[in-house]
Amino acid sequence: MAVGGDEAGAAAVAADEAAFRAYLRDHNLPATAQRLAIAAVVLGTDRHLSAEEVAAELRARGQQAGTATVYRTLEVLRRSGLVVERDFGEGFKRFEAARGVPHHEHLLCTACGRVTEFRDERLERMTTLLADAHGFVRQRHRLVIHGLCRDCRAGAGAPAPRRPSLS
Amino acid sequence: MAVGGDEAGAAAVAADEAAFRAYLRDHNLPATAQRLAIAAVVLGTDRHLSAEEVAAELRARGQQAGTATVYRTLEVLRRSGLVVERDFGEGFKRFEAARGVPHHEHLLCTACGRVTEFRDERLERMTTLLADAHGFVRQRHRLVIHGLCRDCRAGAGAPAPRRPSLS
DNA sequence: ATAAATGCAAAGGGTTTGCAAAGGC
DNA sequence: GCCTTTGCAAACCCTTTGCATTTAT
C-alpha cells in the first residue's frame, strides 16, 4: 500500500518538505534521514495517518524507523505547524498535513473509514454565536459528521473494507 | 469533593435510579451494592465523569468498588441507555447521564475544563445539508466548541483550577 | 443452590521515556 | 568532538480480561 505520489500536489509537498528542513535548521535540530523520511510520508499524502500507519509506510519504502522516533518526529512536525494532530475517538491519534488550511471540518464514513474535509464559513460564524449565547468566548471548535460516503451508500449490501483505496 | 446532591433534579435522579433497577431486573442482572452505588454517582450529577472520578467519588462516599467493577458497571449503564459515553480526546472517556436528551453539543472551557451542553436545531439541519453537499448520508455528528467560560474569562489573570467546583 | 458479580492482578493497546550507542553539524 | 537523535526496552496510562472468591436471587 503505497502512500503519496500524486495524491497531493507535488509542488506543494516539495515546498512543505523544504519548510520542514528550514524549521529543523532554524531550531538547530539535525535533519536526520528518519526525520526527513517521516516528513515525506506525512506531508506527501492527503490521508490522516496513524503513527502505526506511518511506520508501516516507512517500512514499505525500505526506510524503517523505530516507534519512538516516529512519535518524536510527529511531535516535531506538529510543533513546526506543518502537521496537525487529530483524535477521532478511535483510541489512537491521526496526523494530517496542515497545508496551510486555517480550519476545516471532517466527514467520516462509518462503513469504510474514509475521511473527507470541507470548510464552511456559516458554521464558523454560528459556533461563535452559539458560544456567546452560553457565556463562552469561542477559541476553536471541532465538528465531525458521521455518515455513509457515496461509495458505501451505493454498495449498501456489502460494506466496503475498513481500509479504503487511496481514491 | 462531593458529587451530586441537588445539582440534577432530585426527582429525575430517583426516576433514573429506579429505571436502572428495572433494567437490571428485566435482564436478570443482580442489583449489587456496587452497581447501585455507581449508578447513583453517575446518574446523580450533571457532570461528565471519568471512570477514575467515579471511583474517587465512591471512595468519598465510603462505598468503594474495584476498578474493573466500575468499568463493567459503566458499560451496563451505557447499554441500559441511561448513560452516554463521551470522548473529548483527553486520552480517557467520560460518562454522562443521558437524561433522555436526544442529542446535544458541548462547550468545553479550556481553562477550567467545565463542560456545558446545549442543543440547536439549526445546527442539526445544517449538518444534514453539509453531509449531503459532499455525497454523504448523515447519520450523526459531534460538535465541541473550545473556549473560555464566563468565570474563566473574568479571572483571566489567574486561571481557575483544572478541577472546578460543582457550581 | 446456582449462576453471576466482585476484586485482584496480569494483560492489553497506544504512547512516552531512560539510557547506551550512533550520527549530524 | 560536542550535542542531539536513535532504538530498544521498560514504563506509562487507561481499559479489559482471567480466575478464585463472594454474593444476589
pLDDT at B10 over 90: no
Same domain, residue pair B119 and B86? no
> B2 in a domain, yes or no?
no
Same domain, residue pair B32 and B87? yes
Does the distance separating the beta carbons of B130 and A105 come in below 8 Å?
A: yes
Whether the Cβ atoms of residue B57 and residue B1 lie closer than 8 Å to each other: yes
Whole-number Å distance, CA A66 to C1' D6? 8
- DSSP letters, B10-67, are HHHHHHHHHHHHHHHHHTT----HHHHHHHHHHHT-SS-EEHHHHHHHHHHTT----H
> A140 in a domain, yes or no?
yes
Same domain, residue pair A81 and A109? no
Place of cell 470541507: A118
A141 contact residues in B (CB cutoff 8 A): 143-146
Sheet of B115-118: strands edge to edge? A115-118, A105-109, A137-148, B137-148, B105-109, B115-118
Return mean pLDDT, chain B.
Answer: 88
Does the distance separating the beta carbons of A137 and B130 come in below 8 Å?
A: no
C-alpha cell at A146: 458521521
What local confidence, expressed as pLDDT, does residue A156 receive? 56
3-state secondary structure of B139: strand
* B47 vs A154: CA distance, rounded Å: 41
* Domain end marker among B46, B66, B97: B97
> B165 in a domain, yes or no?
no
What local confidence, expressed as pLDDT, does residue A4 receive? 52
Question: Which residue stretches of chain A have pLDDT < 50?
Answer: 158-167
Instruction: Look up residue B91 and give its DSSP letter.
Output: S
Same domain, residue pair B92 and B109? no
Q: Which of A57, A115, A67, A69 is nearest to A89 (CA)?
A: A115
What local confidence, expressed as pLDDT, does residue A165 receive? 34
* B150 vs A135: CA distance, rounded Å: 5
CATH of the domain at B78: 1.10.10.10
Rg over alpha carbons for chain B, rounded to the nearest Å, is: 18
A130 contact residues in B (CB cutoff 8 A): 105, 107, 118, 120, 123, 145
For A29-67, b/e burial (b = at least 16 CB within 10 A) is eeeeebbbbbbbbbbbbbbbbbbebbbebbeeeeeebee
Average pLDDT over residues B144-161: 75
Comparing A18 with B166, which gets the higher pLDDT? A18
> A161 in a domain, yes or no?
no
Does the distance separating the beta carbons of A120 and B123 come in below 8 Å?
A: no
- The lowest-confidence range among B17-21, B100-104, B125-129 is B100-104
Sheet of A49-50: strands edge to edge? A49-50, A94-97, A83-86
If DSSP states are collapsed to H, E and C, what string results for chain A? CCCCCCCCCHHHHHHHHHHHHHHHHHCCCCCCHHHHHHHHHHHCCCCCEEHHHHHHHHHHCCCCCCHHHHHHHHHHHHHHCCEEEECCCCCCCEEEECCCCCCCEEEEECCCCCEEEECCHHHHHHHHHHHHHCCCEEEEEEEEEEEECHHHHHCCCCCCCCCCCCC
* Tally of CB atoms within 10 A around A154: 10
CATH of the domain at B141: 3.30.1490.190
Same domain, residue pair A60 and A84? yes
| Residues in CB range of A157: below 8 A, 6 or more apart | none
Nearest nucleotide (C1') to the CA of residue B34?
C6
Same domain, residue pair B36 and B84? yes
pLDDT at B48 over 80: yes
Whether the Cβ atoms of residue B106 and residue B144 lie closer than 8 Å to each other: yes
Same domain, residue pair B114 and B77? no
What local confidence, expressed as pLDDT, does residue A87 receive? 94
Whole-number Å distance, CA A71 to C1' C24? 20
**Domain that includes residue B36, residue range:** 7-97
What local confidence, expressed as pLDDT, does residue A100 receive? 80
pLDDT at B160 over 70: no
Cβ of B74 less than 7 A from strand C: no
Same domain, residue pair B65 and B128? no
Whole-number Å distance, CA B162 to C1' C3? 44
Same domain, residue pair A55 and A110? no
Q: Which residues of B touch A (CB under 8 A)?
A: 87, 89, 105, 107, 109-110, 116, 118, 120, 122-123, 126-127, 130-131, 133-150, 153
Same domain, residue pair B91 and B26? yes
First to last CA, chain B: 12
> B15 in a domain, yes or no?
yes
Average pLDDT over residues B127-142: 95
Give the minimum alpha-carbon distance from A18 to chain B in angstroms, rounded to a whole number: 31
- Those nucleotides of strand D lying less than 7 Å from any protein Cβ are 4-9, 13-18, 23-25
* Domain end marker among B97, B121, B139: B97
What local confidence, expressed as pLDDT, does residue A2 receive? 55
Does the distance separating the beta carbons of A141 and B144 come in below 8 Å?
A: yes
What φ, ψ does residue A24 adopt, rounded to 5°? -60, -45
> B162 in a domain, yes or no?
no
Does the distance separating the beta carbons of A131 and B107 come in below 8 Å?
A: yes
> A164 in a domain, yes or no?
no
Our count of domains for chain A comes to 2
Same domain, residue pair A52 and A121? no
- The lowest-confidence range among A113-122, A155-164, B8-17, B90-99 is A155-164
* Domain end marker among B53, B68, B97: B97
Same domain, residue pair A18 and A88? yes
Average pLDDT over residues B37-63: 96
> A79 in a domain, yes or no?
yes
